[in-house]
Each structure stands twice: as structure tokens, then as C-alpha cells.
Amino acid sequence: MTTTLDAPVASEHDAPRSRSVNGGIFSPRQLISSLPAAFRKLDPRHLARNPVMFVVLIGSAVSTLMAFADPSVFSWVVAAWLWFTVLFANLAESVAEGRGKAQAASLRQVKRDTVAKRLDPNGGVQEVAGTDLKVGDKVVVVAGEVIPGDGDVIEGIATVDESAITGESAPVVRESGGDRCAVTGGTTVLSDRIVVQISAAPGESFVDRMIALVEGASRQKTPNEIALNILLASLTIIFLLAVVAIGPMGLYAGNAQDPIKLIALLVCLIPTTIGALLSAIGIAGMDRLVQRNVLAMSGRAVEAAGDIDTLLMDKTGTITYGNRQATELYPAPSVPAEELAEAARLSSLADGTPEGRSIVDLCCEKFGLDAQPSTEEKAAEFVAFTAQTRMSGLDIAGSQIRKGASDSVITWASGLGASVVPAVTDAVNEIAQNGGTPLVVATVERGAARILGVIALSDVVKPGIAERFAELRAMGIRTVMITGDNPLTARAIAAEAGVDDFMAEATPEDKLALIRKEQEGGRLVAMTGDGTNDAPALAQSDVGVAMNTGTSAAKEAGNMVDLDSDPTKLIEIVEIGKQLLITRGALTTFSLANDLAKYFAILPALFSGIYPQLDTLNIMRLATPESAIVSAVIFNALVIVALIPLALKGVRYRPSSASQLLGRNLLIYGVGGVVTPFIGIWLIDLVVRLIPGIG
């Protein structure tokens, strides 16, 4: 039989989070520091993944060759600004990746070579290198030592410094037997002794995956991004065919077109702006999550977060703090409180969960009982809790002592002849209605079964969570609380938290069934959880946000991990997902709209010599055909740099309907995309016309 452990001295919920969100502000210094990476990305093998910019690269190379063959100020200026267009596109991606690499650099400091104290099958301790650990190995870590790898605490309790991972300076408690048992390699144990079972192989740890993800090395394009790439590639092919057809048309009209002008026309007509910024938008979306201490395992999850309809939240540890503590004993009539306390203590001596330890502490503090088991008690047979029986206890000296869910223990005791008095059921109902969890205690001695009374476990709803759920409701998201508690307790917590619906006495199969039912109705489902029993539901959901305080199984199943273990942060995740989609749509609208102004700049310049009537379309009154083309090419390149801050920061999201969002984007980015190039090209032409050989 295992003995009780010392009570936790602190909890991650005892102090407010102090981590500040930083690194999201764009500065010109980032442009300069990212230039070397932008030059390296001129490699055709890299640009081949972006069809729009690959066409611009080919056009730049051909223009440069023509400038060498037939030098002129016009040809060299056009060739140079075409190269700048490709370079600025690479710069946008490099700036986005650079911020992620800065995050990765700080994470690499967490990784260090450690010596692990591995337990062998005989109980001995063997010192091995941390890199030699395998999944399933058990290691001992004591105060002052670094945890050598990711895993779960299977024995003991300790305070752990996770500041290198989460940025939170306050130590947190990690303990066996609960949902706060997962530990991360590279964090430091500050007190006590724990045994950790390794759950990740070397090179596949949580920190390793974080580094790869924030650097963008393992980023894959999302379905939305792939679809947009196909659209951009299609538009590029259409404009390429159109521009190629202009050459024979000019020859037929008796005015052959300069190939450099045709290349400039093609580059200005294809959607270079969004083509250049598309990758940066996706990287920046994941980076914004990292800044908020959320690790997204894929860009697909970020996109899905912007479209979710239903949010399922586990009660314990998410809506409530999750550290339920025994607060009161309610003895049955004619049962002394001391007898109930002694039975509650005995039934919890071998219970390693936080709840079990709190029961022992309550009985010892209020009734002066001994926290340590006697020799006889150590030899007793412990009955473990199971999902089927929903109770646990102790068999000692011919007596059976059980505690657990009220209906399970009452059914067990009644089946052995115990009578159920109204005072017990009244206490159960009162505790449940007040949002607590009632545990009934019963015994069987000399063949006689008795119900001794009720233990009240109290949990606390996190402050401000009702307001946060109201925000989700304003976004059109339905919230559902899932709990294993009885319906009365679930209803009380749901009312206090302000959720739309709840599921009580839920099993892992019930959670899966609910998620599949929602998905069959065409809805996207998000789920937060921290326990091993949440893992199947996290894996099935479209967005599965696992708490960092949770088990390794939960973190492996989810496609996001919240390092702060704040389930209400899903609201920010949803906002970032919506912001990603809106930013991509807004810049696509702007990119396609600003082509209109380029038509008015370049087409009259190309054909006014053949068709003088087209000069009336030169509404900007650009000086010469050459200055018009150069001005359009320069604007086409500079607008990419101008939009990098917006691509990184994202378009601001305000909760509203899809039609309102569409209308606002069309007004701001559609109209703005038409007007801005007219002004920009006209201003650039005022300077370009002063260059000899162009103006």
C-alpha cells in the first residue's frame, strides 16, 4: 500500500499569470536584419513553390539579359526593380520567419545535455545520458536537477520551474495521480522528489517540436492557402497568355512591342502583392499564437479556429481550477463525526490523487487523526477507483470501507442491506446544488452495511469566465461544458460559468459521440482538455487545445497546446484564426483591386502609339510611356514592403457577421486597392520623369 504525500505547497493557480505578450511590433530594423535571408531565398528551387513569384524571377532574369544585350536606362531600371520585387517578396517571408527564429533561439537555451537517473527493473538507479533515454524509461529527479525528457509524474509531488517554456516566473506543482502530471524536458525541479516516466524519444520532445514549428521549418500549407495558390497560379497563366498574345497583335498593327515592356506589363498584371505576402501571412498567424503562449501543431488548426461553431470544454481544470479539496464532512444521523472522519481517512490513505490527499488532511486537521498509516493499515488491501465502480476504499481487519460517487456507493451499500436515510440524500443534493462534489462513505462490518455520511469536495469557477463565454456567444460560438459529475453539480457549475449547455456523467465515448454528432451537422468543433480521458475527443475535434499542465496523452492528441493552461484563451485563438482568414482575404482583395490602376498606367503607354484614342485613358497624365511603365513597376515592388507590417500584425478582428466583414473589407481594401495605386503611381512618375532616358 502506498502512503500519503505531503500536501502541495503551491499551485499554478495561486498567483495570476504575469507573462506579457511581446514581440508583435514590427520595426524597420527587422527589415534590415532579414535582408541576408531574403537574398538566400532568391534560389529558384525555393521560389518554384510560389508560382507567381517564380514567374517574376524568370521575368527579372530575362530582362537583365536583354539589358545586357541592348543597354538603356529604361531597360536597366525595369530589370533592377523587377529584381527588387522578387527580393521584397522574399523579405516579407524572411521577416515573418525571423521573428519565429528569435523565439526558437530562446527555446534552444532550454535544451541542455543532462545526466538522467534511470530506474532499473530491480529498483536500482543508473546514471545515463539524457539522450540515451527511451520511451517508457523511469527516471528519478530531485530538487535542483533538470528534468531530462518529456514525461508524466508517476510518483511524488514537486514544484517545478517552467519559466524557460512558459515565461511564467512562479513555480508550478506537478504531481502524480491527477491531470497536472505532465513535465517538460529542460525544466527544473525546485523541491521534493518525483519519478518521471519518459513519453518522448530524444529529438522528438516538446521543445524540439516547438523549435521546428516556430522556425517555420515544419510548416505545411493549409487547404485554404493551397486553394488560393491554385487561384493565383491560374490568374498568372491567364495573364501570361494574354501578354504573349500582345506581341503578334503589335506586329500585325505595324508597331512591334519591346519585350521588356511586355515583361513589365505581365509582372504588374499578375497578383504579385498577395503572392509575395501569402507565406508571410501564414507564418505570422502561427507566430501570433506563440506570442500568446499557444503552440499550434499545424496551420490547418489555426485556420479551423477561425471557423469553429461549437466549443466543448472539460469542467475540471478548465472552467474550474480543478484542484477540488475536501471542505466539510456531513455525518449521517446517529453517526459520530469522528467515526465518519476515521472511515474517510482510511478510505483515502492510499488514494494518491489531490482529492484523496485533501480528505486525509481535513480529517487530520479537524479531528487530530494521524496522517501516517499504522503497520496494520499498511498491510490492508487497497481497492482502487475505476470508471466502472466509481468508488475506492480499503479492506482491513474484516471490514470494508468505501467512498465515491453518491449513486455508486449508495447502490453498493443498499445491495448489502444498508438503509438510506433522507439526511444523507439531502446532504448530497445540497452539496451538488452548490456546485460541489459529494462523496458518500459507507462501511461493512461483521456483515452489517452502514452509510456513514458525505464528504463535500469544493471546486471554484475561474473568475471572469462568464464574461469570456459571453464574448464567445457574440462570435456565434456555442459552448458546452463536459464533466463526469452528476447532473445537479454540472447544472450548478454550468449556470455559474454561463455556458450554453452541459453534459454530465460523461465518459470518453460520450464526448466522442457528441463531437461526431456536431461534425455530422456540418459544424466545426473545438475541444479543450487536460486529462488522458480527454485524448480521444481532442484527437477527433477540428481544433483540440490541450493544457500544458495536462497529461502527455492529451498534448499528443491535440493540435494545439496552451502553455499557460488557460482554457479561456481559446477566445484569443479563435480571434487569431479569424484574423488570419480576414487578413488573407483583405490583402487578396487589395492585390486584385490595385491591378486596375496599373491597367490605366501601362496599357495606354503600350498602345497609344498604335491607337491614339487610348491616350484618353491616361487619366494620371503620366509623362511618357517609359515613365508610366517604370512608375507602375516601382509601385508594384514598394507596395509589398508597405504591406509587410499589415501581413505580420494582421487585420483587426471585430466580432460581427460574415456579411458585415465582407462589406467592410470591400470598402476598405477593395476601394483602397483601386485608389491607392492611382495616387502612388502618379507621385512616383513625378520623380521618374526627371530621369534622363525615361522622362
Residue ranges of the binding site for Mg(2+): 530, 534
Distance CA 488, CA 260 (A): 77
From first CA to last CA, the distance across the chain in angstroms is 93
Residue among 182, 205, 190, 298 at smallest CA distance from 580: 298
Percentages of the chain per state (helix, strand, coil), in multiples of 5: 55, 15, 30
For the beta carbon of residue 253, count every other beta carbon within 10 angstroms.
13
Separation CA 651–CA 452 (nearest Å) = 62
Question: How far apart (Å, rounded) are the C-alpha atoms in residues 566 and 559?
Answer: 16
Amino acid identity at 505: E
Helix (H, G, I), strand (E, B) or coil at 500: coil
Scored b (16 or more CB within 10 A) or e, 661-689 reads beebbbeebbebbbebbbebbbebbeebb
How many CB atoms are located within 10 Å of the residue 512 CB?
15
| Grid cell 521546428 in the structure block, residue | 212
Which residues are within 8 A (CB) of 217 and not within 5 positions of it... i.e. 6 or more apart?
none
- Grid coordinates given for 689: 520623369
What are 441's strand-pairing partners? 403, 453
Grid cell for residue 397: 481487519
Question: Crossing angle for the helix pair 51-69 and 272-291, nearest 10 degrees?
Answer: 130
Instruction: Based on the residue annotation, tell me whether 314 is a catalytic residue of this protein.
Output: yes
**Are 444 and 391 in contact, with CB atoms under 8 Å apart?**
no
- Return the DSSP state at 533: G
3-state secondary structure of 272: helix
Look-up of cell digits 483602397: 672
Query: Which residues line the annotated binding site?
Result: 351, 355, 385-392, 403, 530, 534
Nearest to 285 by CA among 212, 216, 228, 210: 216
Q: What are phi and psi of 524, to 5 degrees?
A: -90, 135
Closest CA to 261 of 241, 247, 249, 276: 247
Paired with 96 in beta bridges are none
- The catalytic residue among 137, 150, 287, 314 is 314
Of 385, 387, 382, 449, nearest to 415 by C-alpha is 449
Q: In this structure, what are the phi and psi dihedrals at residue 215, rounded to the nearest 5 degrees? A: -75, -15
Q: d(Cα 400, Cα 475) in Å, to the nearest integer? A: 53
Cα 279 to Cα 220: distance, rounded to the nearest angstrom: 10
Q: What are the backbone angles phi and psi of residue 383, rounded to the nearest 5°?
A: -105, 110
CA distance 114 to 128: 9
Phi, psi of 216 (to 5 degrees): 85, 5
Q: Which helix (H) or strand (E) holds 38?
A: helix 28-40
Enter the C-alpha cell of residue 145: 536537477
Q: Which residues are catalytic?
A: 314
